[in-house]
């Protein structure tokens, strides 16, 4: 994940837990950050920042920048989850110190190590833990992705209650079998040579599924086909060797289910397609 003590502006490779390298997400992945601010953060990082205030002092970044980093859950190396990090950042003054003073001190202008940071003057309050759904929804709002879980995995009980199976199920069925699947729309294509046929790709926590929408079905279900971010379909499995498609017979916009991802425990599903589009954008027609 993105981390104030480990990330650069671009994504980088670093040693992974096994023999393969791991990809460290870069600051460019966080919505609203400017490269010049993050280059300054990296330049003055030294042996690491001990708390959000140290970033403001040494790198002279604003509180709004630190809030964006906190919302992206980028303070894990400080043992600060999203909510405690936001609390710590909101305690800081709006204006960062001038760069001359931010880099000053007894170390001759060099960034210090973690042990050189002054302790906080008060312990943070005991904040309620975020639900997995809230964590994933906030990841998508800040990063456009989540490494914690796929939204469909968290929504699986609600999808199952509506009769939708995991996308991987389509790969196990014989040609001609009918199925109901749901997933995030990742691509829509309507080639000019396809005579009005629309091709969609949806994904969940198990697999991706390729959908084919014939023109007469598109006319009947235009709105969900064009506007859904979480799309539910009923259709027929079509196999051609190892290639599997689902021929769509009916489609449903599951925006209400998707927006319930970060509902409070007593919350209800809401029909908010615009917000779901911002959180879970698809690659549109190509």
The 3-class SS string of the chain reads: CCCCCCCCCCCEEEECCCCCEEEECCHHHCCCCCHHHHHHHHHCCCCCCCCHHHHHHHHCCCHHHHHHHHHCCCCHHHCCCHHHHHHHHHCCCCCCCCHHHHCCCCCCCCCCCHHHCCCCCCCCCCCCCCCHHHHHHHHHHHHCCCCCCCHHHHHHHHHHHCCCECHHHHHHCCCCCEEEEEEEEEEEECCHHHCCCEEEEEECCCCEEEEEECHHHHHHCHHHHHHCCEEEEEEEEEEECCEEEEEEEEEEECHHHHHHHHCCCCCCCCCCHHHHHHHCCCECCC
User: Which residues, 6+ apart, have CB-to-CB distance to 31 below 8 Å?
Assistant: 68, 141, 142, 143, 144
Residue 73 contacts residue 25 (beta carbons within 8 Å): no
Residue 212 contacts residue 245 (beta carbons within 8 Å): yes
Q: Determine the pLDDT at residue 137.
A: 95
Phi, psi of 100 (to 5 degrees): -60, -45
Neighbours of 207 (CB within 10 A): 16
Q: Mean pLDDT in runs of 10 for the chain (286 residues)?
A: 98 90 97 98 97 97 98 98 95 66 46 46 76 95 96 98 98 98 97 91 98 98 97 98 97 96 60 51 52
Q: What is the CA radius of gyration of the chain?
A: 23
Q: Determine the pLDDT at residue 276.
A: 52
Q: Determine the pLDDT at residue 70.
A: 98
Q: Determine the pLDDT at residue 129.
A: 87
In 3D space, the residue among 2, 85, 83, 80 whose CA is nearest the CA of residue 41 turns out to be 2
Phi-psi region of 146 (alpha: psi -120 to 50; beta: other; left: phi over 0): beta
The model carries a pTM of: 0.80
Angle 176-177-179 (CA atoms, 0-180°, nearest 5)?
A: 130
What would the CATH number be for the domain defined by 151-279?
Answer: 2.40.50.140
- Tokens, residue 156: 């699986």
From residue 212, alpha-carbon distances to 171, 176, 195, 244 in Å are: 15, 14, 12, 11
Query: What's the start-to-end Cα distance of the chain, in Å?
Result: 30
Domain boundaries, the chain: 12-129, 151-279
Pairwise CA distance, residues 124 & 76, whole Å: 15
User: Which residues, 6+ apart, have CB-to-CB distance to 279 below 8 Å?
Assistant: 137, 140, 141, 229, 258
- Tokens, residue 149: 């879980």
């Amino acid at each position: 994940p993105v981390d104030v003590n480990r990330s650069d502006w671009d994504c980088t490779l670093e040693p992974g837990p096994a023999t393969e390298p791991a990809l460290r997400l870069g600051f460019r992945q966080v919505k609203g950050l400017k490269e010049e601010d993050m280059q300054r953060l990296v330049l003055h990082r030294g042996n690491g920042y001990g708390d959000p205030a140290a970033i403001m002092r040494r790198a002279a970044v604003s509180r709004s920048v630190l809030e964006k980093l906190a919302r992206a859950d980028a303070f894990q190396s400080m043992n600060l989850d999203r909510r405690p990090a936001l609390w710590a950042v909101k305690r800081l003054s709006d204006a960062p110190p001038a760069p001359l003073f931010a880099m000053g001190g007894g170390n001759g202008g060099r960034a210090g190590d973690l042990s050189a940071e002054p302790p906080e003057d008060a312990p943070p309050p005991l904040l309620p833990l975020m639900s997995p759904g809230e964590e994933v929804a906030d990841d998508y709002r800040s990063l456009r992705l989540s490494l914690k879980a796929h939204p469909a995995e968290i929504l699986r009980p609600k999808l199952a209650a509506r009769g939708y199976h995991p996308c991987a199920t389509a790969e196990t069925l014989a040609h001609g079998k009918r199925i109901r699947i749901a997933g995030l729309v990742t691509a829509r294509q309507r080639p000019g040579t396809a005579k009005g046929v629309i091709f969609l790709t949806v994904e969940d926590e198990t697999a991706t599924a390729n959908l084919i929408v014939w023109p007469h079905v598109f006319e009947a279900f235009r709105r969900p086909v064009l506007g859904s971010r979480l799309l539910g379909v009923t259709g027929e499995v079509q196999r051609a060797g190892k290639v599997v498609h689902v021929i769509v017979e009916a489609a449903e916009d599951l925006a209400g289910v998707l927006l319930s991802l970060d509902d409070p425990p007593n919350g209800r599903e809401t029909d908010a397609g615009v917000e779901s589009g911002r959180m879970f954008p698809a690659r549109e027609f190509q």
